[in-house]
Amino acid sequence: MTDDGDYPSDDDIYKIIEWPDKDVMGLIEFIQSIWHWPDMARLDGNKFELHTGGWSGNEDIVDALMGTMFWMLCWESSRRGGHFYFEIPKFITEKA
C-alpha cells in the first residue's frame, strides 16, 4: 500500500525488486494498483506503458523495476519525460 502522500511505501518498492520472475502479470497488476495516476499505467494486450507524470513516487517504482528480470525481458523503449514502454513476450501472456 502507498503511504499517506500516495508515494509507494518501502515495502512496495521491496516487493517490486523481489517479485517472482515467473509472475509478470501479477507484477503488472501490482504496479497498476500503486501507480499515482492509474490511467497512466496501461496494459493493452501485450503492451504495457508507464507514464510517470513527473511524480517522484512513480519514478521510484520505475527505478525499482530497472534491475528486475521484468525489465530485461519486457523493456522496449523509454522517452524523455518519464515515458516507458514494455512488450510482454507471448510466452508470458499465453500462460496468463
Q: Per-residue pLDDT tens for 24-62?
A: 999 999 999 999 999 999 999 999 999 999 999 999 999
Domain assignment present for 61: yes
Give the lowest-confidence range in 1-15, 24-38, 56-70, 77-91: 1-15
CA pair distance 83, 80, nearest whole angstrom:
7
Residue 1 resides in a domain: no
Indicate whether 73 belongs to any domain. Answer: yes
Does 2 map to a domain? Answer: no
Dist CA 83 CA 96 (whole Å): 25
Domain count, the chain: 1
Q: What is the pLDDT of residue 93?
A: 67
Domain of 86 in residue numbering reads as: 10-93
**Is residue 21 a part of any domain in this protein?**
yes
The pTM (predicted TM-score) of the whole model is 0.89
SS3 21: coil
Is residue 4 a part of any domain in this protein? no
